[in-house]
Chain A
Amino acid sequence: MINLIGNYSLIFALIISLGTMFFSFKNFKYNNILDFNLIVLVFLQFILIFCSFCTLLLAFINSDFSNLAVYNNSHTTKPLFYKISGSWGNHEGSLLLWLLVLSLFSLIFLIQSKKLSVSFRSLSIFFQQIIIVGFILFIFYTSNPFQLIIPTPNEGLGLNPILQDPALAIHPPILYLGYVGSSIIFSSSLAALVCKYTTNQWARDIKKWTLISWIFLTIGIMLGSIWAYYELGWGGFWFWDPVENVSLMPWFCLTALLHCSSVLEKRSSLQSWTIILALCTFMLSMSGTFLVRSGILNSIHTFANDPERGIFILIFLSCLILLSLIIYFKYNNFEKSNKSFFVSKETAIVINNWFMMYFLAVVLIGTIYPIFLEVITKEKISVGPPYFNQLIIPLLIPFLFIMSIGTKLDWIKNKEINVRYKKIVLLILSVLISYLIAKHLNTKILYSTVLISAALYLLFISILDLKNDKLKWSQKTSHLAFSILIISIILNSIFSEEQSVNLKAGEEKKLSKYTIRFEKISKSQIENYTSLKAEIWVSQNNNELIFYPELRLYKVPETITSEADIKTNLFNDNLVVVNYLKDTDYLNIRYQKKPFMLLIWISALMLAVGGILGLRKKY
C-alpha cells in the first residue's frame, strides 16, 4: 500500500514536469508576468517527490520487507538511526534523495529570484525540469525504490556495517546538496546565455548558488574523509581513490567558478569563461554520480552498482552536454574585452583559475584513464597516489605564491607595486622555518623547503590580511583556512609514522622506536554486534599510552569492522587499529602517529565557515 503511494507520487511528479515544461516555455516565449501556474506546479512537484521520499523513509522505519530496497539494505535489529540513514545509504534511495533535493532547489530558485526577469526565470525552470525528467525516468527504469517482492520475506539482508556510522549517515545527503546545487548554476547559465543576461547582476545571483553548493560539497568531502580516516583503518584521510576524486573534481570547478564570478561581478569580464565553468561543474557532478553508481570505477569502495544504470546516465549525460554545447555556440556573442596583461587582481584570479583547471585535468585523467585503457586494450590498471602527488604538489608552489600575492592587488591595474619590507621579512622567515623543518628529512631538502615556505608564506600573509579592512571576512577566513589546511596536510604527510606487528595476548615486541604490548582482549554483546575490545600498550621513552581498539562482529550481514582507538590532541593523533584472522591467536596491530590531523579537520570546517560568511551579505 505505502509503496504504491510512493510509486504513484513519482509518476504524478513526472506528469507535472511535462506540464511545467510547457508552461515555462510558454512563459518564456510570451514574456509577460510569471504564470501563477508555474509556481503552483513546481511546488506541487516538490510535495509529491517529498511524499514519495517519506513513504520510502516510512518503509525503512517500519522494516517493510515487501519493498525490495528495504529488504536488501535493512534489518529489524538495526538501530533506528541507521534504519533512517539506510534509506539513502543504498543506490535507489540515494537517487530519490537526489531528485528530492533537485526539486527543492528549483522551488527555492523560483521563489527567491522574484526580482529577475520572467523570461530568465521560466527558462531556468525549463532546463531544470529537463534534468528532473531525466532523473525520474532513470529512477523508474533502472532503480525504482518501490519494487515489491512476493512473498514478503521475514527478515532483511542488513546494511553493510561499515556504513553504519554517524559521519557516513549524513555524508551522502550533504554531498548531494553540493552536487545538486550546481544544477541550478547549470540551468541558470543556460538560461542566461539565451536571454543575454550574462551581466554582473547575474554573476551576483550565481555566486550565491555557487557558494551554497561549495559549502555543502566542502563539508560533504570532509565528512567522507573523516569516515575513511577512522572507520576504514587505513590510517589516512585521502587515498586518491576514484570515488574520492570524483567528488574533488566538481570542488575544483566550483572553487574556480566562485573566484571568476566575482571578477564578472566587479569587472563585467570573463563571461564566457564563467559560463563554461558553470556548465562543467554540473557535468562533473553528474559524471560523479554516474561513475560511482555505475560500478565501472575500479574502486575499493563502490557499494551498490549495476552496469545498466551506467549506460542510462551516460546517455542522459551526453544529451545534456550536447544541449549545452548547442546553446553555448548558438548564443555566445559576448563583447570582446581587450585582453591585456596588467598586474591586477583579475590576472591573479585568472592564473589561479588555470592552475585549478590543471589540477582538475590531472585528477580527471588519473581517474578515467584506467577505464579507457580497459575498454580499449582489456588491460586492467590502477593509477596510484604517486601519480597525483608528482603532478599536483610541484605546481602547488606557484599556486600558493600567487594566491598570497593576489589578494592585495587592485582590480583593473595595480597602481604601484609596493614591496614592503614586512613582506620580505615574512618571506625570509618562512624560508628559514621551512629549512629547519625540512632539514630533518633525508631526501629532497630543497624541494620540501620551497614547498613548505610557499605554504607558510601564504599562512603569514593570510594572518596579516586579517587586519586588512578592504577584504571581506568570508575571503579572509577561507584563505586562512586554506593555508592552514595545506600546511597541515604537508606536515602530516612528512611526519607520519607507522608500525605494524602481529602479537598473541600477553606478548610484547620491541620495535626500533616503540615497544608494543598486547595486554588482553575482552568480549561483550552490544545491540546488533559482538564487540571485541583489545588493550594495547604502546611505550616510547618511558611514555606509555594505552589503547582500546575494537573489533565488531556483525551477524547480518556477516562482517567484521575495526574501530580504531584514536587519541587526539591539537598537534598529534595517535591511533591503533587491530584486526584478527580466523583460526589464529595472533592479533594484527598497527600503531600510527599522525601529526596535525585535528588541524586538517578544523581548517576544512573553517573553509566552509568562510563560505557561510559569504552568504550573509544581502544582495
Chain B
Amino acid sequence: MYGKKVKLRFTYLSLILVVLILSTYLVLKSLEENVVYFISPTDIKGLAEINYDKKYRVGGMVKKSSISMNSEQINFIITDYKNEISVKFNGVIPNLFSEDKGVVAEGFLKDRNFLEASKILAKHDENYMPPEVKKALEGN
C-alpha cells in the first residue's frame, strides 16, 4: 500500500518516539527518586509526614555554643531563630563551618528534632546566610 520509503520513515519515526518516551520516563523517575528537598527547621515542624527513607537538606544557622565534639562525631544545633533541630555528623566539616554562620546539613531525619547528617555544606563566602534565615531574621 505504502512505498518502501514511507514505511522506512514510519519505522524510523516510531522508533525515535519510543526511545524518547522511554528516556523521558526514566529521567523523570530517577529525578523523583533522587531529589533532595531543602527545608528549614520551621518547615520540619510543619511537615505533615516525614519520609524517613529520603534525604533532606536542612539549612539554617549554627546555634551559638551548641557545637560539641568527640572522637567519632560532631553534634550541633541548626536554628532559624524560630525553631531548631539537633544534628549528628560523622565526617569532615567544611572550613567555613562555625558558630553563628550559615550551614546546610544533608541527611536522614530520625524524628522532627533530630537529623543524622551525611554531608555538611557551608558556602564559600564567609558572609553567606541561607535565604530562609535571612527572611526569618528580617521578619523579626
Contacts of A501 in B (CB 8 A): 71-72
Contacts of B9 in A (CB 8 A): 339
Tell me whether A557 and B95 are in contact (CB under 8 A).
Answer: no
Size of B's binding interface in residues, CB under 8 A: 41
Interface with A: B35-43, B44-52, B80-88, B109-117, which one? Answer: B35-43
Please state if A380 and B38 are interface contacts (CB–CB under 8 Å): yes
User: Chain B 27-64 against A: per-residue CB contact (8 Å), 1 yes, 0 no?
Assistant: 10011011111110000000000000001010000000
Q: How many interface residues does A have (CB within 8 Å)?
A: 47
Extra A-B contacts (4), CB below 8 Å, given A162-B124, A384-B36: A160-B125, A301-B124, A369-B31, A581-B69
Contact between chains at A561 and B69 (CB < 8 Å) = no
CB-CB contacts below 8 Å: A235-253 with B: 235
B:3-32 near A, CB below 8 Å: 8-9, 12, 23, 26-27, 30-31
User: Within the assembled complex, what's the spacing in Å between the Cα atoms of A300 and B33?
Assistant: 22
Which residues on the A side are within 8 Å of B92 (C-beta)? 233, 235, 500, 577, 579, 588-590
List the A side residues contacting B96 at CB < 8 Å.
Answer: 559-560
Q: Which residues of chain A (576-596) have a CB below 8 Å from chain B?
A: 577, 579, 581-582, 584, 586, 588-590
CA of A482 to CA of B81, assembled, Å = 50
Q: Complex: how many Å from CA A252 to CA B71?
A: 44
Chain A residue contacts of B31, Cβ below 8 A: 365-366, 369, 383, 387
Contact between B37 and A584 (Cβ–Cβ < 8 Å)?
no
| CB nearest to B68 among chain A residues | A584
- Identify whether the interface residues of A are mostly helix, strand, loop, or mixed: mixed
Contact mask A492-532 → B, CB, 8 Å, 1/0? 00000000111100010100000000000000000000000
Q: Is the CB of A233 within 8 A of B95?
A: yes
* Contact status B37-A387, CB under 8 Å: no
Q: Which residues of B pack against A, CB within 8 Å?
A: 8-9, 12, 23, 26-27, 30-31, 33-39, 55, 57, 67, 69-74, 90-99, 104, 121-126
Contacting B at CB under 8 A, from A357-387, are 358, 361-362, 365-366, 369, 379-384, 386-387
CB-defined contacts of A588 to chain B, threshold 8 Å? 69, 74, 92-93
CB pairs A–B below 8 angstroms (8 shown): A300-B121, A339-B9, A361-B23, A382-B35, A384-B35, A390-B33, A558-B126, A579-B95
User: Would A557 and B67 be within 8 Å (CB), given that A233-B92, A383-B36, A390-B34 are in contact?
Assistant: no
Q: Which of chain A's residues have a CB closer than 8 A to the CB of B97?
A: 579, 581
A590 touches B91 (CB 8 A): yes
Does the CB pair A361–B71 fall under 8 Å? Answer: no
* Interface core residue of B36, B55, B72 (most chain A CB under 10 Å): B36
Smallest CB separation, A153 vs chain B (Å): 18
Residue of B38, B70, B72, B92 most packed against chain A (CB within 10 A): B92
Give chain A residues whose Cβ lies under 8 Å from the Cβ of B98: 581-582
B69–A383 touching, CB < 8 Å: no
Q: In the assembled complex, which residues on chain B have CB atoms less than 8 Å from the CB atom of A561?
A: 95
Of the candidates B23, B38, B95, which one forms a contact with A382 in the assembled complex, judged by CB atoms under 8 Å apart? Answer: B38
Tell me, in angstroms, the Cα distance from A157 to B93 when the chains sit together.
26
A141 cross-chain contacts in B, Cβ below 8 A: none
When distances are taken between beta carbons in the complex, the residues of chain A under 8 Å from B122 are: 300
